[in-house]
Amino acid sequence: MARPRACLQLEKDFVLDCVAVGSVARAYGSVRPKLWSAIPPYNAQQDPHACRYFRSRPVLPVLRRTDQDHCGTSRDGWIVDYFHIFGQGQRYLNRRNWAGAGHSLQQVTGHDYYNAHLKLGPGPNGRFGYRRNTPALRQRPSVFGEVTPFPLY
């Protein structure tokens, strides 16, 4: 279980920009060649689970020979990588997120906000915490010595 301060920091860092990403992806969906996607291009050389393979002795000469020894590129090439980082769609999303869009009080406080400001309604026992619908309570005024204007049904 994470500490509350750590959870709050994680929730503050979370950005919910699915609507903006969806609209940018829809705009670039019909453009050919497809240079921008909501899912970033996969670069195996930057995958921490595959780093031992790319550091192995037989693979390093091949990477040098193909000029892939400087972090490599994704499957679609360096143009797609560049456009995904510096393209118009990504610049729009970066500016939007840097300005604070995608954050709200409900998102930042996360699950702690769920029951933070409850307003209790009348329960089955009425406003004063006891039932007033029995015949004995209808005959007498309030137990506390004051007559209430509330209906006794």
Tell me, yes or no, whether 48 and 33 share the same domain. Answer: yes
Tell me, yes or no, whether 85 and 130 share the same domain. Answer: no
Per residue of the chain (153 residues), give pLDDT as tens: 556 778 777 777 777 777 788 888 888 878 777 777 788 888 888 899 998 998 899 999 998 998 888 888 888 888 888 888 888 888 888 888 777 776 666 655 666 667 777 777 766 666 666 666 667 766 665 566 565 666 665
Tell me, yes or no, whether 68 and 85 share the same domain. Answer: yes
Tell me, yes or no, whether 126 and 113 share the same domain. Answer: no
pLDDT score for 46: 87
Tell me, yes or no, whether 126 and 109 share the same domain. Answer: no
Tell me, yes or no, whether 41 and 62 share the same domain. Answer: yes
Tell me, yes or no, whether 100 and 128 share the same domain. Answer: no
Can you give the pTM of this predicted structure? 0.50
Query: What does the DSSP 8-state code read for residue 126?
Result: B
Tell me, yes or no, whether 111 and 123 share the same domain. Answer: no
pLDDT score for 57: 92
pLDDT score for 148: 61
Contacts with 149 (C-beta within 8 Å, 6 or more apart), sequence order: none
Domain housing 123: 119-153
Helix (H) or strand (E) holding 40: none
For the chain, the domain total comes to 2
Is the Cβ–Cβ distance between 45 and 68 less than 8 Å? Answer: yes
